[in-house]
Amino acid sequence: MRKTTIVFNRRQCLSLFAGAMASKLANAQVSFPTKPITIIVPYTAGGASDVGARLFQNELSKTLGQSVVIDNVSGAGGALGVQKLLRSPADGHTLIYGSLSECVLVPLINPAAGYKTEDFAAIALMSTTPAALVVKPDFPANTIEELIVYARANPGKLSYGSPGIGTFQHLVAETIKNRTGTFMLHIPYRGGGNIMADVIAGQVDVGVTSAPNIIGLAAQGRIKVLGVTTAERLQVLPQVVSLRETPSLKGLDLQTWGMFLAPKGVPDAVLKKLNDALNIINAQPSMVEMRRKLGSTVPGQFNVAQTQSFLLRERDSYRASASRVKPE
């Protein structure tokens, strides 16, 4: 076989080196952002996703030197907000503060949503958060196990609210129902704030929502928290039982997460600049403490590639359980 040898002279080598360095500098000095940044929140104002996004609004604006606008686009279990994101230019100026619900579960459970997890460019993972089951203070159960016993004794009489069909909270409730052979009527909402209002008003029996939605209301005595969906109790709610302490549900540890994402196709240099900025903000001690008070945990810092890998692993790990939840 004939070998081909390519020889570079000194001038050519210097030229190649200069080109590579110029490319690196271009990436490091990417001209971004050039206009205000919009963060889509796919649920109503006041819920956990909205609160999570607004934690970053001012700091991200200071860091990047552009205003940051929150755009609440609720409906269809978060799918309407995602659809708006995916119609936006892939330039990094439109992001979504997404969760397990609309980024993974909704497209797995309901193909009619019109998108897939692979359509996202993941940027940075910000938090992990359990769900909580809550009721009115006078509800005749004090733990998840007592709720299960009550539901068995009163078949067809209970209802529960979630942020929508295919959401993480919907999956939590359906998992509990399937594990325990109980039935509660599902009432989908547009966000956690609306669920809490109806639980307090007695319009729905049980609220299944993310922990940040319930901390303040629980402290005020306006709701009763039956349990959280982690294996361990939350520091901020030490009196509330976890799934590990629920005999019918041992072995379950269910958490959602908050993540910034963009439409697929955003330049790598822009994704890196956003990832760097968000990770720095998220590591601030004040942010870590604020998360703790909301019942959330700040994970280790992931770069862009690690965040994308995490997102796709979540899709794969939930594929089987999502197939057991029927679109309503």
CB-based contacts of 221, cutoff 8 Å, min separation 6 = 137
pTM here is 0.84
pLDDT computed for residue 328 by the predictor:
64
CA 18 to chain centre: 42
pLDDT computed for residue 94 by the predictor:
98
What counts of helices (H) and strands (E) characterise the chain? 12, 9
pLDDT computed for residue 252 by the predictor:
87
pLDDT computed for residue 191 by the predictor:
85
Helix ranges (DSSP H) in 224-267: none
CATH number at residue 59: 3.40.190.150
SS3 32: coil
pLDDT computed for residue 19 by the predictor:
43
Q: Domain of residue 230: give its range.
A: 130-249
Whether residue 187 sits in one domain with residue 136:
yes
pLDDT computed for residue 136 by the predictor:
97
Whether residue 197 sits in one domain with residue 168:
yes
pLDDT computed for residue 324 by the predictor:
82
Whether residue 169 sits in one domain with residue 121:
no
Whether residue 65 sits in one domain with residue 98:
yes
Whether residue 201 sits in one domain with residue 272:
no
CATH number at residue 195: 3.40.190.10
pLDDT computed for residue 18 by the predictor:
40
Residue ranges in the chain modelled with pLDDT below 70: 1-29, 328
* Residue 48 to residue 64: CA distance in whole angstroms: 24
CB-based contacts of 107, cutoff 8 Å, min separation 6 = 113, 115, 116, 117
Q: List Cα–Cα distances, 155 to 20, 137, 177, 180, in angstroms.
A: 68, 21, 12, 12
Q: Is 206 in contact with 158 (CB distance < 8 Å)?
A: yes
Whether residue 123 sits in one domain with residue 54:
yes
Whether residue 99 sits in one domain with residue 48:
yes
Whether residue 219 sits in one domain with residue 290:
no
* Residue 285 to residue 302: CA distance in whole angstroms: 18
Whether residue 165 sits in one domain with residue 234:
yes
125 within domain boundaries: yes
pLDDT computed for residue 195 by the predictor:
95
Domain count, the chain: 2
pLDDT computed for residue 53 by the predictor:
96
Whether residue 271 sits in one domain with residue 238:
no
The beta strand positions in 106-230, using DSSP E, are 120-135, 159-162, 185-188, 206-210, 224-228
